[in-house]
Amino acid sequence: MKIKLDENLPASLVESLAFLGHDADTVVQEGLAGAVDPQVWRVAQNEGRFFITQDLDFSDLRQFFPGSHHGIMLVRLRDPGRIALHRYVVQAFADEDTSGWLGCFIVLSDHKIRVLRP
Residue ranges per domain, the chain?
2-116
Instruction: Give the model confidence (pLDDT) of 76-110 as tens digits.
Output: 999 999 999 999 999 999 999 999 999 999 999 99
pLDDT, residue 101, reads 98
pLDDT at 24: 98
Closest CA to 52 of 97, 2, 96, 95: 2
pTM of the predicted structure, to 2 decimals? 0.97
- The beta strands (E) that lie in the chain are given as 2-5, 23-26, 50-53, 72-76, 105-109, 113-116
CB 2 within 8 Å of CB 48: yes
**Percent of the chain scoring above 70 in pLDDT:** 100
Helix (H, G, I), strand (E, B) or coil at 51: strand
> Across all residues in the chain, what is the average pLDDT?
97
